[in-house]
Structure 1
Amino acid sequence: MSLLSLNNVEVAYDRVFLAIKGVSLEVQEGSMVALLGANGAGKSTTLKTISGLLAPERGEVRRGEVQFMGQDILSLSPPERVRMGLVHVMEGRRIFEHLTPDENLLAAYRGPGAKKSFDELREQAYRYFPRLKERIRSKAGYLSGGEQQMLAIARALVTEPKLIMLDEPSLGLAPVLVKEIFAIIREINQNQGVSVLLVEQNATAALNVADHAYLIENGNIVMSGEAAVLKQNPDIQEFYLGGGERVDYHNVKHYRRRKRWLA
C-alpha cells in the first residue's frame, strides 16, 4: 500500500524559478526509498514540498498532488503533517546546540497526543544510538558531527513517525560513521516498520540500504526502479558510483559526456 505519493508536482521559488517540474514518486508502507541526484537537482525541494517547509524560502506548489495515507496534505501546516506521522530530518543536523540530548528529545515529544510515554521513546532512541546515552550530560553543540546526526534522527523517532525523511544524513561524516548510521536507519526501518525516504548524494551508501530508488536531474525524475537494479545500471555506475567506462580526454577533441536518458 502506498503511504506517500507525489503526482506531477511542480514547485517554483519567487513565482519564477522552477525547482521541480512534474515530479511523481511513491513510498510504500514499510519500505526504504532513496532519492538520488546531484547538487541543485531538486532533492531537498522535494522533501520540503512533502513536509510543508517551502513557504519560508518563498517556494510554492504550482500544481500536482501530495498524498499521505490517502489524504491530500498540501493544505496542512508542517505541525499538522508531523502529527499525522511525517517527519523531516533536515540537512545540516538542525539540533538545539545549547540543550543536552535528553532535552533535544523532550523538545520533539508530542505530549498528550503521543501513544507512548516520553521515557519509553527516549529509551528506544538510546537503544538505537547508545553513544548518545554516554553523552547524556553534554550540550549537543559539543557532540561530534556523527553524534549530532544520530541525535537528529533520534529526535525524529520521538515523534512516533510513520515516515522519516532524511536529507543528506552522510554529509560531512567519515565513511565508517556513514556505514554505521545507515545500518541503524535500516534497522529502524525493519524493526519499527517506519518507512524511510532518503535523499543522498552518496549513491553507493543509499543504494546499499534502499529497496527502491529514484534519480532526479534538473527537477525531473529521469529513472526509477529497484535499488539493486539501478546499482547495476551503467549510467548510474558512471555518473554516480564512480565506475563504468572511462574516456581518454587527451585523445578525444570533441567528447561531450551525455547520459543516455538525456540523449
Structure 2
Amino acid sequence: MQEKAEAAPILSMNSVEVLYDNIMLAIKGVSIQVPTGEMIALLGSNGAGKSTTLKAISGLLKAERGRISRGEIAFQGTDITEVLAQNRVGMGICHVIEGRRVFEHLTPDENLTAAAPRGMSRSALNAEKEKIYNYFPRLAERRNSQAGYLSGGEQQMLAIGRALVTQPSLLMLDEPSLGLAPFLVEEIFGILQKINREEGMSVLLVEQNALAALEIVSQGYLIENGRVVMHGTAEALKSNSDIQEFYLGGGEGTNFHNVKHYSRRKRWLS
C-alpha cells in the first residue's frame, strides 16, 4: 500500500535569526515548516523564542525594534522576509497575539465588522459572521454585549473570530490557553480542530500547555533558548521520555508556563 504523500508546506522558515536593537539575538537559526492544511505546535518555556518566531512570520518585529538578520521566510512559495505586515495579512497570514486584545468598548458583532478586510462586501461579511457564530455559539449569544464584559474564554473566542473574518490561509495563535480553565481550553481547541478540518485552514499554535496542544496537532517543534531542539509527530513527542518527564507528567510538568528551569539531557538532541 502506498504511503500518503506529505502535504507541501504553506510556510517555511529557513535558518532565521532575529535581532532586537541590533544587539540581542532572540532566535538563532530557526527552521520550521507548516504543511498545508495541518496544525503544528510550537512548544517551549517562557522566553524560549516562540512569540518572536510568530512575529517574524507576521511581520510584527519592526514595531518592537526587531529585525530578521539572517535566513528567509517563504509563504506559499513566495519569499516574504521583507514584506510589510499589512501585506502579509492580505496574502492570507493572520496572527492572534497573546492577551486577547479585543476592542472592549465595542460589541462582538462590531469587533468582527472592524476586523473585516477593506472592500469586503456586506453579504460576504454577514456570511463570515454567521460561520463564526456557528463555530462559537457563546459569541452568538453575546453578540450585542460589550466585549469588555465577556469572560476570558469568550474574549479569546472573539479574538479568534476576528482573525477568521480576514479569511486566512494560515492562522497563528500565541498562547490561546493562557489564563483559561481547562474545560475552556478543551472547548476552544476542539473548535480549532473543527475549523482546521472543515476549512482546510493551516494552523501554527504557540503553546506552553504541551499536553493540550499535542492532543490536536499533527507535529510539534520544541524551542529552547532561541533554537529548535526537537521536532517530530505529536505521537512521537508525547512518547518521548524527556517530554513526558518535564512537560506531560503530573504537577507542574503539565504546563510549560509553570516550568522555571530544567537540565536538558544529552539524548535530547540525539
Alignment TM-score > 0.5, same fold: yes
Q: Distance in 1 between matches of 2:128 and 2:81?
A: 29
| Match in the other structure for 2:256 | none
Distance in structure 2 (CA, Å) of the matches to 1:262 and 1:69? 30
Confirm or deny: 8 A CA contact 1:114 1:160 kept in the other structure: no
Of the three residues 218, 221, 228, the one matched with 2:228 is 221
Assess if the C-alpha contact under 8 Å between 1:167 and 1:199 holds in 2.
yes
The residue number in structure 2 matching 1:242 is 249
Displacement of 1:185: 0.5
* Among 33, 44, 48, the residue aligned to 2:55: 48
Output the amino acid matched with 1:30: G
Report SS of the residue matched to 1:64.
Answer: strand
**Pairwise CA RMSD of aligned residues?**
1.8
- What is the correspondence of 1:97-246 to structure 2 with a 5 Å cutoff? 97-112=104-119, 117-242=124-249
Partner SS state of residue 149, structure 1: helix
After superposition, the Cα gap between the structure-2 partners of 1:42 and 1:62, relative to the gap in structure 1 and judged at 3 Å, is same
Matched to 2:198, the amino acid is N
How many Å separate the matches in 2 of 1:194 and 1:52?
20
Which residue pairs with 1:83 in the alignment? 90
Q: What's the TM-score, normalizing by structure 2?
A: 0.90
For the residues of structure 2 that align with 1:164 and 1:49, how far apart are their CA atoms? 14
Alignment identity in percent? Answer: 62
Distance 2:121 2:75 in 1: 19
- Residue 14 to residue 116, structure 1, CA distance change in 2 (3 Å): farther
Instruction: Tell me the amino acid that sits aligned with residue 257 of structure 1.
Output: S
Q: CA deviation at 1:179?
A: 0.4
User: Counterparts of 1:111 and 1:194 in 2: how far apart (Å)?
Assistant: 21
Asked if the contact 2:230/2:269 (under 8 Å) is kept, the reply is no
Q: How many residues align?
A: 253
- Please name the residue that 1:11 is paired with: 18
Runs of 4+ in 1 over 2 A off after TM superposition: 111-116, 256-263
Match of 1:63, SS state, is strand
For 2:169 and 2:141, locate their aligned partners in 1 and report how far apart those are by CA, in whole Å: 28
Question: By how many angstroms is 1:172 displaced?
Answer: 0.1
Separation in structure 2 between the aligned mates of residue 146 and residue 61 of structure 1, nearest angstrom: 33
Q: What residue in structure 2 maps to residue 67 of structure 1? A: 74
Partner of 1:209, secondary structure, is coil
| Conservation of the 8 A alpha-carbon contact between 2:13 and 2:31 | yes
What runs of 5+ residues in structure 2 fail to find an aligned partner?
Answer: 1-7, 254-261
Deviation at 1:133, TM superposition (A): 1.0
Tell me the TM-score normalised to structure 1 length: 0.93
Query: Does the 8 A contact of 1:45 with 1:54 survive in 2?
Result: yes
CA contact (8 A) 1:108 1:156 kept: yes
